[in-house]
Structure 1
Amino acid sequence: MIIPKLRSPIVLVHGLLGFDRVQIGGTTLFNYFPGIPELMRAANNRVLIPSLTPTAGIEQRAKELKDFINKNSPGEPVHIFAHSMGGLDSRYMISRLDMGRQVLTLTTIGTPHRGTSFADWGVGRFERLLKPFLATIGMPLQGFYDLRRENCKTFNEKVLDVPSVRYFSVVGKHDGHFLHLEWLLPYNIVSKQEGENDGIVSIASANYGEVCDQWEGDHIRLVNWYHPAAHYRGLVTDPADRYGALLRRLSDLGY
């Protein structure tokens, strides 16, 4: 697929526990969106990747995102592609931090717009373990609370869409076979309470605005993380096909 060049910069926003890249010295070993910035830049798109506090709450991360955009693309319109919790950060920033005039489109990918039952199940059980550990490294816990379904219900009542912004979403679906071990427990919990999901976010929760597509794979395959079982089953998809189609949609709309 030929990747189009958009008229405005693209911002890629990571989710909870995320990062922009892992480096040793000046060498990048891994980035959160492997291969995706490169294919976008190959078409001469300008791509910006913020590094938000991994476990902070939506409000704090949204402020960090706004500061990043204002610093790196001041006054310039942007398109946002946000994975997982990054979509909630972006929605809050657009709606509550007066960024609707600068954001042209928001495409969320596997974002728990209505929360996830795994957060409901897990926060209470893991709080005693997580809180002291995160405190020792100076990390907050609020991000985990913000993904509970009741909290997201309140979020959706207060964080309203801005009419001038186009909202798109991609949902993920996994059949439960050959999941990463870390996804087995959340997949089963979410399956029982919410139905089809990507290992942590249900299709119903990820559906928001104009739905672009449903992608097969677990939550991190949506952003092109490697999984040997996916190769074994022939489920590997070229990120150029998936993300190229998202850019093509925006290009065809005149962006």
Structure 2
Amino acid sequence: MNDKTKESDSMARHRIVLAHGIFGGLAWAPNWALGQRGAYFHGVRPHLESLGHEVIEPQVPPAGRVVERAAALGQAIHAAWPQGDLHVIAHSLGGLDTRHLLRVDPQLRKRIKTLVAIGTPHLGSPVASSWINPVGHLPGALSLLARAHAGGVEDLAVRPKPAEPDQAGVRYIDVFCDAGQAGYQGLVFRELGNLFSVELPNDGVVSLRSAHLEGHELITWPVDHGGAVGWPSGHPTLFEAMFGHVDPALLNRYADLAGLLG
């Protein structure tokens, strides 16, 4: 028995939902380069499955509003697992989808034991607000186009308080991603944060203040917003990912998250 098998045998098995963020599932990169590992959560599902977990990665409307996306997420969970406990690991808008789902679906509210929200803008992001009201950032015609096709971006805009309350009985873990610790891997997202004046520290899109709510457990990762799911913004790491490379550190982070579920 090798070390990996021993590790897998010693871990509790969980049902885990990977809930993607905005634009997840779009064919934005060439399939010939990405293959199976072109998933939104880059290489994460097969790694968690190799550790003995049951994992689904539902496809929800990529640019849909939270209400629409949450409904699709709930349908996928009910179809895959009609009963039994489960946990959700969500990135960005996927965390807001899940928080809405917890409020509107009483059955899943009882069954979802943990929500791990990675880089989720509970209080919104200035980047999204600038897309909706792009004064000074986008030229006139592009501004009109942005407003007309905002979709789920509207649910990511800055707000004074969370859109949904916490639900009793659910464990909440927030993962804040710090682009300032990402080195050259977070270059583009750091510049994005500077351009849109995202409060420091941030992952390039979401500030710590927005990513972490009072009363939630907090974990910090040294990656940018894309690096949190295996798509760092810096060269050459992004190109390495596009051609199939999966950072072992990324897989270890998700294995550690799964180890926290109970």
1:15 aligns with 2:21: yes
Q: 2:179–2:186: 8 Å Cα contact kept in structure 1?
A: no
Q: 1:5–1:45: 8 Å Cα contact kept in structure 2?
A: no
Q: Which of 187, 193, 211 does residue 206 from structure 1 map onto?
A: 211
Superposed displacement of residue 97, structure 1 = 2.5
Amino acid of the structure 1 residue aligned with 2:212: N
Identify which range, 3-12 or 175-184, moves more after superposition.
175-184
Aligned equivalent of 2:128: 119
CA distance in 2, matches of 1:20, 1:72: 22
Q: 1:78–1:103: 8 Å Cα contact kept in structure 2?
A: yes
Superposed displacement of residue 82, structure 1 = 0.1
Amino acid of the structure 1 residue aligned with 2:77: I
CA distance in 1, matches of 2:84, 2:187: 42
Aligned equivalent of 1:59: 67
Q: Are residues 221 and 43 of structure 1, via their aligned partners in 2, closer, same or farther at CA, if it must alter by over 3 Å?
A: same
Amino acid of the structure 2 residue aligned with 1:246: L
> Could you give the per-residue CA deviations for residues 125-145 of structure 1, whole angstroms, max 9, x where no partner exists?
25512366x5xxxxxx33111
How is 1:68-147 mapped onto 2 (pairs within 5 angstroms)? 68-98=76-106, 99-125=108-134, 126-130=142-146, 141-147=150-156
CA distance in 2, matches of 1:101, 1:33: 26
> Could you give the per-residue CA deviations for residues 24-78 of structure 1, whole angstroms, max 9, x where no partner exists?
69x6361111121111111111100100101111111111111110111112221
Question: Percent identity between the aligned chains?
Answer: 28
CA distance in 1, matches of 2:187, 2:56: 32
Q: Are residues 42 and 73 of structure 1, via their aligned partners in 2, closer, same or farther at CA, if it must alter by over 3 Å?
A: same
Q: Are residues 194 and 142 of structure 1, via their aligned partners in 2, closer, same or farther at CA, if it must alter by over 3 Å?
A: same
Q: 2:86–2:113: 8 Å Cα contact kept in structure 1?
A: yes
Amino acid of the structure 2 residue aligned with 1:28: Q
Aligned equivalent of 1:223: 229
Q: Which of 47, 55, 63 does residue 47 from structure 1 map onto?
A: 55
Superposed displacement of residue 224, structure 1 = 1.6
Superposed displacement of residue 204, structure 1 = 1.2
Amino acid of the structure 2 residue aligned with 1:64: A
CA distance in 2, matches of 1:73, 1:127: 43
Q: 2:122–2:162: 8 Å Cα contact kept in structure 1?
A: no
Amino acid of the structure 1 residue aligned with 2:222: E
- Structure 1 unaligned residues grouped into runs of 5+: 135-140
Aligned equivalent of 1:174: 179
Superposed displacement of residue 117, structure 1 = 1.2
Q: 1:187–1:199: 8 Å Cα contact kept in structure 2?
A: yes
1:160 aligns with 2:165: yes
Q: Secondary structure at the match of 1:205?
A: helix
- Structure 2 unaligned residues grouped into runs of 5+: 135-141, 239-246
Output the TM-score relative to the length of structure 2: 0.78
Q: 1:117–1:189: 8 Å Cα contact kept in structure 2?
A: no
Q: Are residues 179 and 24 of structure 1, via their aligned partners in 2, closer, same or farther at CA, if it must alter by over 3 Å?
A: closer
CA distance in 2, matches of 1:35, 1:97: 30
The RMSD of aligned alpha carbons is 2.8
CA distance in 1, matches of 2:121, 2:167: 19
CA distance in 1, matches of 2:193, 2:49: 34
Superposed displacement of residue 211, structure 1 = 2.9
Superposed displacement of residue 222, structure 1 = 0.6
Superposed displacement of residue 245, structure 1 = 1.5
Aligned equivalent of 2:137: none
Amino acid of the structure 2 residue aligned with 1:187: G
CA distance in 2, matches of 1:154, 1:40: 30
How is 1:26-37 mapped onto 2 (pairs within 5 angstroms)? 28=36, 30-37=38-45
Equivalent pairs counted in the alignment come to 234
